[in-house]
Amino acid sequence: MQLVRQNEEKVAERRKGHPGRRARPVVAVLLIAALGSACAGESGDRGGGDRGGRSGDGGGGGGGPVESATATPGRAGPDAAKKADAAKKADAKKADAKKADAAKKAEAAVAKAQARRAVAARKWKLAKTPLAAPPPPAVKPRITTRKGFEVTGGATLPPVFTSVPTKQKVVFLTIDDGAEKDPELLRMMTELKIPYSAFLSDYVINDDYAYFKKMQARGVSLHNHTLTHPYLPGLSYEKQKREICGQQEKIKKRYGKRPELFRPPYGNYNAGTLRAAKSCGVKAVPLWSSEAFPDHMEWRERDRDLHPGDIVLTHFRGKDEWKGSMPDMIRHVMKTVTDKGYAVAKLEDYV
């Protein structure tokens, strides 16, 4: 027993004197683990780039692979720009061709319409075929009160004007009251395709509202010329309002639309007239530059001539009051207009 104990003590002393011998296996294990980890890391970098890029998209961890992937389109930039420029030019060329084709079709349509008009002009014994009006403006011109036609406080009231601001060689035909209801006028204007606007007074149309319904169905706009055609400045504001707004409601009831244009009888008005008109929906007050009769024209301007945008006035009258009929008046006014190189356009396309 004593010998065994002595041997154990010697072994213990040897172990105390050489502690490194016991640690070597541990160090070796740690080195092997480190090498294995490094190899795995390199393998992950090479084999897991795609996953790293997708991870980077979500959380910002894969920036390296994304930068490398975007380098290639940069080198193709000039080619892409050339292709885009070529595509843009091709689109522009197609658009130009489309516009040219549309213009040709429009010209052909006008030519056909003018051919039909020429036939109608011969039928209705016009001296010349009426000229075709140009397309109306995409944006209506701004209408202001003519100088000398202002009223106190008129800046906020409907404008009063005798012509429309335009450079186009067009005039506008307007017919007042409604006393004469000539069916020949409806046929003539429809076949000749001449636009016009009617300003109606109830006291002379109430015996035949249907005549003006037919006129409206042919594309004619019906506007306000008061109930009884009085001298408005001689009336109180309330009576003026009754005359104007009463006719607004009559036209709305009979023809389905409240007018936005109003013409005062005789062209006479005051501030009260315009305030009353505005109160029931009137937007503008067109007067006239010239007046047409079956045998002559009367002019407002000193030069006694037509100008671009002029408004021509005439009336629903017949042989009882005129030296001629409504078709006679149309023949005369159209000769004047056409001889001077003008076409008749639709007032509502400009106002």
Query: Would you list the DSSP string of 298-322?
Result: EESSTT----TTBEEEEE---TTTS
**Could you give the CA distance from residue 47 to residue 151 in angstroms, rounded to a whole number?**
89
Instruction: Tell me the Cα Rg of the chain.
Output: 45
pLDDT value at position 274? 99
**Could you give the CA distance from residue 242 to residue 232 in angstroms, rounded to a whole number?**
11
Q: To the nearest 5 percent, what fractions of the chain are helix, strand and coil?
A: 55, 10, 35
- Sign of the Cα pseudo-torsion (297, 301, 304, 310, in order): negative
pLDDT value at position 57? 42
pLDDT value at position 262? 99
Give the single-character DSSP code of 224: E
**Could you give the CA distance from residue 51 to residue 280 in angstroms, rounded to a whole number?**
74
**Could you give the CA distance from residue 339 to residue 304 in angstroms, rounded to a whole number?**
14
Model pLDDT for residues 264-285, shown as the tens digit of each residue? 999 999 999 999 999 999 999 9
Model's pTM, two decimal places?
Answer: 0.74
CB neighbour list of residue 114: distance below 8 Å, 6 or more residues apart: 129, 132
For residue 340, which phi and psi values (nearest 5 degrees)? -90, 5
**Could you give the CA distance from residue 35 to residue 46 in angstroms, rounded to a whole number?**
17
* Cβ atoms 194, 344 nearer than 8 A: yes
The C-alpha angle 296, 298, 299, rounded to 5 degrees, equals 140
pLDDT value at position 76? 58
Residue 87: strand, helix, or coil:
helix
Residues of the chain with confidence (pLDDT) below 70: 1-76
In the block, tokens 């030296």 appear at 323
| Lookup: tokens for 66 | 């994304």
pLDDT value at position 77? 72
Domains and CATH numbers, the chain: 139-349 (3.20.20.370)
pLDDT value at position 63? 43
pLDDT value at position 104? 87
> By percentage, how much of the chain surpasses pLDDT 90?
72
Q: Which helix (H) or strand (E) holds 291?
A: strand 290-292
